[in-house]
Every structure is written in C-alpha cells, then in structure tokens.
Amino acid sequence: MKVIVVGCGRFGVELAYHLSKRGDEVVVLDASSDAFSNLPQDFDGRLVEGDAMNQDVLLRADIEEADALAAVTNSDVLNLVVGRIAREVYNVPNVVARNYEVFTRELYELFDLQVVSAATWGTQRMIELLNHTEARLVYSAGNGEVTFYEVAVPANWEGKTLTEILNCSGCQLTAVTRGGKAFIASDDLVLECGDVLSICATNRGAEILRERLADARGEA
C-alpha cells in the first residue's frame, strides 16, 4: 500500500515508522526538514519537504498514486484542508485525519472525514482502565464508541444463561471460549466458571457490564 503521512511530529513519526515496518511504501511530508530527524535511522520511506496545501508538493509526494493519506499535523485546519483535497481533488481512496483540539471535532464530521481524536480516545481508555479491572480491553473501534472486551466468567455467573447476563441493547456477545476452544453461542447457553466471553459494547453497555461484574464480585 502506498501511504502519505502528512506531519512528522511524534504522532506522524510513530505512524510512518510502523507502516514502513509492515511493508507499506511510505512518503512523509512536512513543512520543515528538521522534523525528519525525529524518524528512526532505519526508516526506509521517502521524505518530502514543503507546504502540504501546495499542489506541486503534493504531486512530488505522488498523491496521484497514493492508496491512503493520513493528515496528522498539530493543526486541525491543515488536517481538514489536506484531507479534503486528497479525497475530493485526487480521489485518494482512504483518507484519515487527526483531530488535535477537541473543540474542533465537529468540523471533521462536517467535512465527512474519517477522524481519530487522540485526546477523546485516550480519555475514554484511561477511564476504562481506572474503573474496570474485571474485563480485559482488547480493541477499540472508531474513537472509542464501541469497545471489545474479554470477560472471564466469575463463579457467581455459573449456571446462568447469556440472556440473563447480557440482556441490554448496548452489549453483544461475539464468541465464547471454553476449554481453549472458541465458538458462537446461542442466548440460552448456560455459563460455566472459567468461560471467557468476547463482548462488544457501547459506552453505556460497558457501564452496565461493569455494574453486573461488580454485583457478581459483591455476591462472592
């Protein structure tokens, strides 16, 4: 995959390096050549210095051949404009922008851009880790609107059905692991202590899940 990373700050460096290490063709674009010194010495992508809103600079970065572009500078205006240009002018198939200031998040939605808000996502994950130790966070989709957990069935849930445990619109079971083997379960499955439930949940669903785990802990 040919990827352009616009912005060579800490976020851009980490992204560009990992993309390069997995085998993607990466071009890093930044207004300052000094920023490129932040890249690890074994980074093997291409570097382009210049204004990302300048057509000649974008063409030097091979935007016409790019499969994806990530606009990850610390300027929301720049990320918005470059993301919009990449998608609307050069038809880059996959464009993702970084939201830097939380109060500008709605602008990305108005531009209909895929957006990653590090502050919003990080805050939600920190709250999860501070308040929820019974379930292991596996994956977070979007900016944390939906999260995926692995929950070890406590002793007080043994003999109950999935319907009794997950009877809420914000939680959905994706798989059950029992004795080292995973399977898709029906709602009437009777739980056994030691089962591991793979669950996806909205923020509200995660709160309900925490409450039920806390109740189980209190009954033990």
Distance, CA of 19 to CA of 43 (rounded, Å): 10
Predicted confidence (pLDDT) at residue 21 exceeds the cutoff of 70: yes
Q: For 36-57, what is the mean pLDDT?
A: 95
Predicted confidence (pLDDT) at residue 64 exceeds the cutoff of 50: yes
Q: For 50-61, what is the mean pLDDT?
A: 96
The pLDDT of residue 219: 46
Q: 26 is in which domain, residue-wise? A: 2-118
- Please state, for a pLDDT cut of 70, what percent of the chain lies above it: 91
Query: Could you tell me if residue 124 is inside a domain?
Result: no
Q: For 214-219, what is the mean pLDDT?
A: 66
Same-domain check for residues 32 and 89 = yes
* pLDDT tens-digit map of 74-107: 999 999 999 999 999 999 999 999 988 877 777 8
Same-domain check for residues 167 and 88 = no
CATH number at residue 57: 3.40.50.720
Distance, CA of 32 to CA of 21 (rounded, Å): 23
Same-domain check for residues 55 and 97 = yes
pLDDT interval class at 113 (50, 70, 90): confident
pLDDT interval class at 131 (50, 70, 90): low
Q: For 65-74, what is the mean pLDDT?
A: 96
The pLDDT of residue 101: 82
Distance, CA of 147 to CA of 203 (rounded, Å): 8
Q: For 171-193, what is the mean pLDDT?
A: 89
Query: Could you tell me if residue 123 is inside a domain?
Result: no
Q: For 26-50, what is the mean pLDDT?
A: 95
Same-domain check for residues 20 and 56 = yes
Distance, CA of 118 to CA of 9 (rounded, Å): 14
Predicted confidence (pLDDT) at residue 220 exceeds the cutoff of 60: no
The pLDDT of residue 124: 64
Which helix (H) or strand (E) covers residue 195, if one does? none
Query: Could you tell me if residue 154 is inside a domain?
Result: yes
Query: Could you tell me if residue 166 is inside a domain?
Result: yes
Same-domain check for residues 11 and 99 = yes
Q: How far is CA 50 from CA 20, 56, 77, 141, 197, in A?
A: 21, 9, 16, 33, 50
Mark which of 118, 151, 174 sits at the end of a domain.
118
The SS3 of residue 201 is: strand
Least confident of 24-33, 83-92, 100-109, 183-192: 100-109
Same-domain check for residues 72 and 95 = yes
| Mean pLDDT of the residues in the chain | 87
Query: How many domains are contained in the chain?
Result: 2
